[in-house]
DNA sequence: ACAGAATACTTGACACGTAAAACAATCCGA
DNA sequence: TCGGATTGTTTTACGTGTCAAGTATTCTGT
């Protein structure tokens, strides 16, 4: 039984209480690093990773989305989104407007400037993904995706 | 080729540009959820997950640690740790003191109250890990740990 | 039709993460 | 040994995430 690399990283001598505990820490720790690095990529264009994600949602939607919809797709609480979109609007990357249908909703839409910024970022982000996960081959990536899916959603539907 | 579950979650129709891109998003998204849920557990004892992690580091160290050491083990910048420890000190969970050896350093140590709080939290946290990762069996957990290790550190040393 | 519940969003307050700049203590080379 | 780098920590400022509370709009049941 070789010693866990994670234990070395955090300089602990006690073993983990369970494989699940170790996996949980490994998950949060790994995501932490990837998040930070991806954030640095987004920063080269003056936005945060959170803002980048909002822009990608809006681009993918191919049309205006109410604030709540963005929140759901990002798994985030609405208050945060409001401010995120406000910032993006001030940078001219997103446009907000009331809609006649349901006047409680505010529709958000990516602007041409926002689309352009995304295009400038796409290459670097793709490259980063390939580099960050470059130690895993295609089949390992599929395994990883499957395991993560099951953590979020439980076992696949039969 | 069955459709990615992740695409459904974020309601996107376009496929991911690569497996690496999908894995990256799956990783951040999964960690996001786990982080939020673990944070809620810690909140039952009035502390944040970040504070919980600091306390665990200090308990595991079995002795005082300088601030920088905590920062390194948490992969975090020092300014954040300073405030984190300041908060913990105000709650009486951590004690800080100057040390004669190198007077730049400030040694941090968990207090008995901090240890007690950790003990109250241990059970719930273990339980949460088991539940959150309960869809994976032991060998799948090992696979996940290995894949995550390799994302952080590159291929294992031969 | 209308009062009360639900929904969509905003605002305020607070913790956290980060970068930049400040400060004190220590180290190191000439 | 003296002055300039380096190290350990704090302060400041800003974006973000969360909760709780507030406002405006829509829905629902009678």
Which of B118, B129, B132, B146 to mutate: most A Cβ within 10 Å? B129
A94 CB and strand D closer than 7 A: no
pLDDT at A82: 98
Report the distance from CA of residue A80 to the C1' of nucleotide D27 in Å, as an integer. 26
Q: Please name the residues in contact with B98: beta carbons below 8 A apart, sequence gap of 6 or more.
A: B105, B106, B107
Nearest to B17 among A12, A14, A126 (CB): A126
Which residues on A lie below 8 Å from B35 (Cβ)?
Answer: 28, 31
B26/A144 CB distance under 8 A: yes
pLDDT at B25: 97
Quote the percentage of chain B above a pLDDT of 70.
99
For B73-83, the pLDDT digits (tens) are 999 999 999 99
pLDDT at A29: 97
Which residues on A lie below 8 Å from B143 (Cβ)?
Answer: 143, 147
pLDDT at A1: 65
Q: How far is B66 from chain A (nearest CA, A)?
A: 14
pLDDT at A97: 96
Put the strands of the sheet holding B65-66 in their side by side order.
B65-66, B106-110, B94-98
pLDDT at A50: 98
The closest of B113, B104, B130 to B55, measured between CA atoms, is B113
Do the Cβ atoms of A149 and B26 come closer than 8 Å?
A: yes
Q: Give the count of beta carbons closer than 10 Å to the beta carbon of residue A97.
A: 9
Which residues on B lie below 8 Å from A129 (Cβ)?
Answer: 18, 20-21, 23-24
How many Cβ pairs closer than 8 A exist between chain A and B? 175
Q: Which pLDDT band, with edges at 50, 70 and 90, does B13 fall under?
A: confident
Do the Cβ atoms of A109 and A63 come closer than 8 Å?
A: yes
Per-residue pLDDT, averaged over B132-149, amounts to 97
pLDDT for B107 beyond 70: yes
pLDDT for B3 beyond 90: no
pLDDT at B149: 96
Q: What's the distance, CA B26 to chain centroid?
A: 18
Mean pLDDT over all residues of chain A?
A: 95
10-residue mean pLDDT series, chain A (158 residues): 85 90 97 97 97 97 96 95 98 96 97 98 96 96 97 83
Positions of E strands within chain A: 65-66, 94-98, 106-110
| Closest-approach residue (CA) in chain A for B17 | A126
Do the Cβ atoms of B98 and B109 come closer than 8 Å?
A: no
Q: How far is A112 from chain B (nearest CA, A)?
A: 20
pLDDT for B54 beyond 80: yes
Which residues on B lie below 8 Å from A139 (Cβ)?
Answer: none
Q: Which pLDDT band, with edges at 50, 70 and 90, does B72 fall under?
A: very high
């Amino acid at each position: 039984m070789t010693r866990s690399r994670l234990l070395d990283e955090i300089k602990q001598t006690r073993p983990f209480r369970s494989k699940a505990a170790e996996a949980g820490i490994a998950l949060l720790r790994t995501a932490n690093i990837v998040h930070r690095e991806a954030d640095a990529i987004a920063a080269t264009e003056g936005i945060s990773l959170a803002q980048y994600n909002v822009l990608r949602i809006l681009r993918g939607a191919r049309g205006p989305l109410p604030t709540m919809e963005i929140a759901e797709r990002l798994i985030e609480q609405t208050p945060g989104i409001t401010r995120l979109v406000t910032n993006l609007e001030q940078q001219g990357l997103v446009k907000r407007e009331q809609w006649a249908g349901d006047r409680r909703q505010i529709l958000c839409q990516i602007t041409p400037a926002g689309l352009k910024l995304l295009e400038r970022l796409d290459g670097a982000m793709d490259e980063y993904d390939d580099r960050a996960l470059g130690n895993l081959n295609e089949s390992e990536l599929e395994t990883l995706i499957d395991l993560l899916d099951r953590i979020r959603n439980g076992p696949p539907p039969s």
